Structure 1
Amino acid sequence: MAGGEQSWVIETEKRLKDLDPSLELELWSKHSIYRLPACIKDLNSKAYRPQIVSFGPFHHGETQLRPMEEHKHRALLHFLRRAKKPLEEFVIGMEEVVGQLQDAYENLDEDWRVHKDRFLQLMIVDGCFMMEVMRVANGGQSDYASNDPIFSTHGILYTVSYIKRDMLMIENQLPLLVLDKLNAVETGKFKDEDHINKMVLRFLAASPIAARTSIGGLGLHPLDVFRKSMLQGQYPSSRHGHSEPASNEIIRSALELYEAGIRFKKSKSNSLRDIRFRHGVLHLPVIVVDDATEFLFLNLMAFERLHVGAGNEVTSYVFFMDNIIDSAKDVSLLNSNGIIQNAVGSDKAVAKLFNGLSKDVALDPESSLDDVHRMVNAYCRKPWNMWRANLIHTYFRSPWAFLSLAAAIFLLVMTILQTIYTVIPYYQGQSPPPSPPTAPSPQ
């Protein structure tokens, strides 16, 4: 055996002896911020790339994001002046959790681990910038110049939407532990764990109700908190329980469901868990589809795919919507029922968006919406509903087919009436009217 091969064998044998599954379990449980594998990123790289600001180490220093670094350091100065505490106190507070912060990033470059001071600087600067942007945008008192390019009313108006989008990129996350530590040192007193969560949601949430949502415990990062706010509540209890195997059936499109007698109504909440089917009515949460919807769902699904234990609720919802939306007509039907609020333009564009979201994404066979799939398909298989759907599909899709059907029915009715008119006198005991007498023929 060659020397190189022998060295490899010895090294492998040594690693085998040191192998400890419990240590592996502990290692994987620490990660919450991930680099995307090429099989995900290459499908739509733009959806995962921050546009104007980086948070954390994965995109730090990229050319298109460097202009914001100046504003980050300026935000740090304003934060320190308002806190009236030296920077050293914040550094000491952050040092207490530096190991946790480093472990939060999967495949963190070794340079960030070796140069701990540089990593701490990154966490504090990015954390202070995030805190300042959220504070000003949420209506906090501002000590920035009225013409500040970022923190003025004008700056917030034109930059906040891009910052929100970048805060929801899976590779561009900052552990909320950073904000919690900064807040604790700044105020010098303990606040409930949900304080940071609510501050993030007030900034990111589309509705005041979502912003008041209680997550329970400090979130991992902004994307995690936002995802949890979309999934408040429990799935409706199922009469089937979990004894039945997962269904492999694909649910029909919204238009086909409508033809089978199913009606659509808005759910009582906007939670993606609030999807119910009862007595022929499918309840779905309202969703606003805009320019950020595609990027948001792709990053949420990527987080569910990479973070073990996160669940599959968002992915299940996207698959469900992809199934019931095949064309612009399905979007139009859902829009007419107030379920989809279209802010991107044409119904065709919305259909294309949902049809592209679930591309090359694996769905858990024990999907959280499996019971809804099962009940909807069972309803559609009932003989009357199948006959009704077939009738509508065959005769009511085209006006000419409908006119032909109406003409055929009219002729059938007229034929029946004519037959009845002829037969009724016999059942009433009447004989046909006598024929008029004929004149005698001449002899």
Structure 2
Amino acid sequence: MELEMKWLDQINEEIKNNGPTIAYEKEQWEKPSIYKVPSQVTELNKNAFKPQAISFGPYHYGEENLKLMEKHKHRALLHFLKRCGKPVELLFQRLNQVAKELKDSYKSLDPIWTNNTPKFIEMMILDGCFILEILKVNYESEILVDYDKNDHVFGEHGKLHLTPYIKRDMLILENQIPMTVLHILTKFETNVEEEDHRESLKEKIIKFLDPWPSRIIKNTSLFKTKIIRLGKCTHLLDLYRKSMIQENASHTTPSLRPPMRNLLNCEEPDEDYIIRSARELQEAGVRFKKSDSRSLKDVSFNRGVLRLPAVKLDDSTKYIFLNLIAFERLHVGAGNEVTSFICFMDTIIDTAQDVPFLSRSGILINALGNDKLVAKLFNSLAKEISMDRNGELDMVMTNMKYYCEKPWKSWRASLIQTYFRNPWAMVSLVAAFFLFALTIIQTIYTVGQFYQKDC
């Protein structure tokens, strides 16, 4: 009874103090940008949200399988300070000035960090310096004089055998540090104002994490412009996501869109609004073409042509998309673009039979092995996620639906597929028409002769 009274008193006291206010609750939603993924999500893919080689930030700090990299973080800090020629105390002081902001970036931070600011700052410095050193040894060859070429982390040996795992861990949602840390460290090293080095840092990060390492940026000025348009980013995963959905400046979005329901569940679509698979779309006369850009938002449907961005599929694809989807799910205001794209792809890739239609068009670049694995990948990514029916993909699906409802489109597609894509079938068709024409002529001639005899 006493416990009940305490609870009642607490509620009455909070109401009396006019709490909680909208402004206070809004602040609680807006501050965090790094989250622990809920158990109902991690249960579906347990290994996708855990770092395999190195920890960044507090959530996985001290885990047994990640401890080995702590000494290399320490080495990175020593190299960083030696190159700067500045005392570590000054660096600590600068990060300590924003300690509260850094802590607020984490949702549900353990008391071991909230109550121990020096330890928290130490972790931020070590993790941030390691990231900057990894970026340097991959894109600034002169830095290699600081490390032996056979260094297992920062040398050529590390680039070959360890860097792929570090890249993977940099894109884990639970394994992030605020971008503020990297900006402060870069300014500390270069004495350049934050605004001047911010875009350069973004450029290095995107090039490092780019899943298309063979891509050559031919237009440097255009690339730098795209970097500037990314805007403020909270951490590496956020930066990577924005680079994936960034549209070209010339991209335009049609303004007219028929009203629809708010959400389309990927696993249980509305019976009146079923999106066909790629094979069925092709049978209905839809053609597939690769979009002009790699942006996941560059999806369009016009005059029977569905344009989709090229997507490279390999062993890293699944964990990258799962963490991007988790970030969109947990971070208020992040958007739903990646989730909607995956949901859309799941609707048109139902089985392995749908994959070749997209692969032949250069939309799917399959490094997984076979088409069955590709179908399984998209089907698994789309579990328990929903598409934003107020987004641009809603209009694309609506146009596809209306197009496929016209029966003559299917007849035309069937005719082309059956007779005009096979030269021998085309010859047979022409021959058949020729014989049919001769038969009609012969019939007319015979009937004409019959009437002439009667006359």
Identify the match of residue 289 of structure 1 among 300, 313, 318: 313
Deviation at 1:7, TM superposition (A): 1.1
CA distance in 2, matches of 1:290, 1:232: 22
Deviation at 1:365, TM superposition (A): 3.0
TM-score normalised by L of structure 1: 0.88
Q: Do residues 199 (structure 1) and 204 (structure 2) align?
A: yes
User: Which stretch shows the higher mean deviation, 345-354 or 233-242?
Assistant: 233-242
Q: Count matched residues.
A: 423
The verdict on how the C-alpha distance between 1:415 and 1:218 changes in structure 2, with shifts beyond 3 A counting, is closer
Identify the match of residue 240 of structure 2 among 203, 221, 226: 226
CA distance in 1, matches of 2:357, 2:294: 19
Identify the match of residue 173 of structure 2 among 170, 175, 179: 170
Q: What is the percentage of aligned positions where both structures have the same residue?
A: 43
Q: Return the letter of the residue paired with 1:233.
A: E
Question: Which residue is 1:148 aligned to?
Answer: 151
Q: Do residues 425 (structure 1) and 446 (structure 2) align?
A: yes
Q: Do residues 66 (structure 1) and 67 (structure 2) align?
A: yes
Q: Return the letter of the residue paired with 1:152.
A: G
CA distance in 1, matches of 2:115, 2:32: 19
Question: Which residue is 2:383 aligned to?
Answer: 359
The verdict on how the C-alpha distance between 1:373 and 1:77 changes in structure 2, with shifts beyond 3 A counting, is same
Q: Which runs of 5+ in 2 are unaligned?
A: 265-269
CA distance in 2, matches of 1:146, 1:429: 99
Contact 1:194 1:216 in 2 (8 A): no
Identify the match of residue 304 of structure 2 among 280, 286, 307: 280
Deviation at 1:330, TM superposition (A): 1.6
The verdict on how the C-alpha distance between 1:298 and 1:35 changes in structure 2, with shifts beyond 3 A counting, is same
The verdict on how the C-alpha distance between 1:228 and 1:208 changes in structure 2, with shifts beyond 3 A counting, is farther
Deviation at 1:70, TM superposition (A): 0.8
CA distance in 2, matches of 1:19, 1:415: 83
Contact 1:202 1:211 in 2 (8 A): no
Q: Return the letter of the residue paired with 1:203.
A: F
Question: Which residue is 2:361 aligned to?
Answer: 337
Q: Return the letter of the residue paired with 1:155.
A: G
The verdict on how the C-alpha distance between 1:119 and 1:358 changes in structure 2, with shifts beyond 3 A counting, is same
Q: Do residues 181 (structure 1) and 205 (structure 2) align?
A: no
- The aligned runs of 1:188-267 (5 Å cut-off) are 188-192=191-195, 193-205=198-210, 206=212, 207-209=215-217, 212=224, 213-214=226-227, 215-233=229-247, 236-238=252-254, 240-241=256-257, 248=270, 249-267=273-291
Contact 2:230 2:242 in 1 (8 A): no
Question: Which residue is 1:378 aligned to?
Answer: 402
| SS in structure 2 of the partner of residue 363 of structure 1 | strand
Q: Do residues 7 (structure 1) and 6 (structure 2) align?
A: yes
Contact 1:194 1:217 in 2 (8 A): no
CA distance in 1, matches of 2:443, 2:230: 80
User: Which stretch shows the higher mean deviation, 121-130 or 21-30?
Assistant: 21-30
Question: Which residue is 1:438 aligned to?
Answer: none
Deviation at 1:254, TM superposition (A): 1.2
| SS in structure 2 of the partner of residue 230 of structure 1 | helix
Q: Return the letter of the residue paired with 1:258.
A: Q
Write the deviation string for residues 256-289 of structure 1: whole angstroms up to 9, x where unpaired.
Answer: 1111111111111111111111111111111111
Deviation at 1:428, TM superposition (A): 5.8
Write the deviation string for residues 218-262 of structure 1: whole angstroms up to 9, x where unpaired.
Answer: 311000000000111176422524656568523211111111111
- The aligned runs of 1:396-407 (5 Å cut-off) are none
Q: Do residues 349 (structure 1) and 373 (structure 2) align?
A: yes
Contact 2:260 2:389 in 1 (8 A): no
CA distance in 1, matches of 2:10, 2:84: 52
| SS in structure 1 of the partner of residue 245 of structure 2 | coil
Higher Cα radius of gyration: 1
Deviation at 1:211, TM superposition (A): 6.9
CA distance in 1, matches of 2:330, 2:105: 13
Deviation at 1:320, TM superposition (A): 1.0
TM-score normalised by L of structure 2: 0.86
Contact 2:34 2:105 in 1 (8 A): yes
The verdict on how the C-alpha distance between 1:31 and 1:239 changes in structure 2, with shifts beyond 3 A counting, is closer
Identify the match of residue 304 of structure 1 among 311, 319, 328: 328
CA RMSD of aligned residues (A): 2.7
Write the deviation string for residues 347-373 of structure 1: whole angstroms up to 9, x where unpaired.
Answer: 111111111110111333323300000
Contact 1:175 1:221 in 2 (8 A): yes
The verdict on how the C-alpha distance between 1:419 and 1:186 changes in structure 2, with shifts beyond 3 A counting, is closer
Contact 1:316 1:368 in 2 (8 A): no
Deviation at 1:432, TM superposition (A): 5.3
CA distance in 2, matches of 1:242, 1:333: 29
Deviation at 1:388, TM superposition (A): 4.3
Contact 2:54 2:169 in 1 (8 A): yes
Write the deviation string for residues 298-347 of structure 1: whole angstroms up to 9, x where unpaired.
Answer: 11011000001111000111011111112222211111111111111111
